[in-house]
Each structure stands twice: as C-alpha cells, then as structure tokens.
Chains A and B, each alone.
Chain A
Amino acid sequence: MFSPSHFTAVLLFGLFASTVFGITQRETPQRMFRYGLYCFCLFVGSAIVLSWVMYLIAR
C-alpha cells in the first residue's frame, strides 16, 4: 500500500491537477506552463496557509 505523508499527497494532487488545468485552460505552450505553475503554487500555498490557520485555531 502506498502511504504518503499529507504534504506529499498535496504535492502529487497539485502536480497532476495543475498539469490538466494548464493544458486545458490556455492556448499556447508558454501560457499553459505559466498557468499550470500558478495553479500548482496556489494548491500548495493554500494548503500550507490553511494548515497553519487550523494549527493556530486548535491551540
């Protein structure tokens, strides 16, 4: 059984989802790459921010 950490799961999820978003939502390869990178940063960044918010709420 593959049992990644929560953060690794977020990285994998963000990588695959942002790849599909980038290819399907933009027209040119350069804009696809930039939009995919933007989505990936949003996925990972929002996960980190929400994790800290939940940590501070739980204290």
Chain B
Amino acid sequence: MSSTPNKPVPAAPAQHGFVFLPLIAGWLIPGAGHFLLRKWGRGALLAISIVCMFAIGLAMQGKLYANAHDILEMLSLLGDLGSGLLYVVGRVMGLGPDSAQLTVADWGTRFIVVAGLLNVISAVDAHNIRTGRKS
C-alpha cells in the first residue's frame, strides 16, 4: 500500500499586535480597520459609503438618538452607536433635530441607523481578515 506524504501546510504570515485592533479601529472610524490591514481600496470604498450615508442622513434632517423610551428607540440607538466617532461628533456638535417632523427626515433617520449597522459589518469584516477567516 502506497502512502502519499502529507504536504506541509504553509504557515500563515505572522501578525503581531492586538488581534481586536482592526475591529475597534473599524468601529470608531469607518474603514480604519481595513486601512490597518493595508486593504486600501476596500477601506476607502467602505469609508466613503458609510460616511456619505451618515452625512446624507444628517442633511435630510435625520434624528440622532440620545435616549431610548421603548424597544424600537433602543434598537435605533444601538444602530446609531455603530457609527462610532461619527455619532459622538454628531452629538457633541448638536447635529440633527430632536424629533423627525418631515417624511424626508424620517428617511434620514433610517439612513443614519443603517450607516451605523453597515459600519459594524465592515468592522467585523476587518476582524475576519485579521484572524485569517477571510483573505
């Protein structure tokens, strides 16, 4: 019986440093996790998409949630927090009205929430690249 020798598995390139750094950086600043991993094109496209979506939401008079009185507001606040420093800067500068009065403002509120959720997805993607689950 012949046996084929097992091919040696090529070792993954050594990556030093804090493994959660791309995740945290990507959450705080859109695209920063990919920039840390030298994925310049992907990071730029993600940053442009998320920042534009957040800015357009604010330009449409979308609301930045500051507190939650019911479950829907709590979920929206969590979505807003996904934007990281964009949310903090928006709150500090007092951007966005206290309540969305117009239909367009309601769409803007959704744009801001979804921008935060997309930022969380991109930060997790950066973490997956860092840990080797994705190339």
Q: How far is the CB of B7 from chain A (nearest CB, A)?
A: 22
7 contacts between A and B (CB under 8 A): A1-B59, A1-B60, A2-B59, A12-B111, A20-B46, A20-B49, A23-B122
Beyond the given A9-B111, A13-B114, A16-B115, could you list 11 further A-B residue pairs with CB under 8 A, ordered by the A residue number?
A1-B59, A4-B104, A9-B104, A12-B53, A16-B50, A16-B52, A16-B118, A17-B118, A20-B118, A20-B121, A24-B121
Chain B residues with CB under 8 A of A16:
49-50, 52-53, 115, 118
Which A residues, 1 to 18, have Cβ-Cβ distances below 8 Å to chain B? 1-4, 6, 9, 12-13, 15-17
Chain B residues with CB under 8 A of A19:
45-46, 49
Question: Measuring CB to CB, which residues of chain A are less than 8 angstroms from any residue of chain B?
Answer: 1-4, 6, 9, 12-13, 15-17, 19-21, 23-24, 27
Identify whether the interface residues of B are mostly helix, strand, loop, or mixed. helix
Chain A residues with CB under 8 A of B122:
20, 23-24
Q: How far is the CB of A40 from chain B (nearest CB, A)?
A: 12
Beta-carbon contact of A24 and B50 below 8 Å: no
Chain A, residue nearest B58 (CB): A2
Place the interface of chain B in its size category. Answer: 20 to 34
Q: How far is the CB of A13 from chain B (nearest CB, A)?
A: 7
Could you tell me the distance between the alpha carbons of A47 and B94 in the complex, rounded to whole angstroms? Answer: 33
Answer whether residue B42 sits at the interface, using C-beta atoms and an 8 A cutoff. yes
Could you tell me the distance between the alpha carbons of A2 and B49 in the complex, rounded to whole angstroms? Answer: 17
Chain A, residue nearest B105 (CB): A1
Chain B residues with CB under 8 A of A27:
134-135
Beta-carbon contact of B49 and A24 below 8 Å: no
Beta-carbon contact of A17 and B45 below 8 Å: no
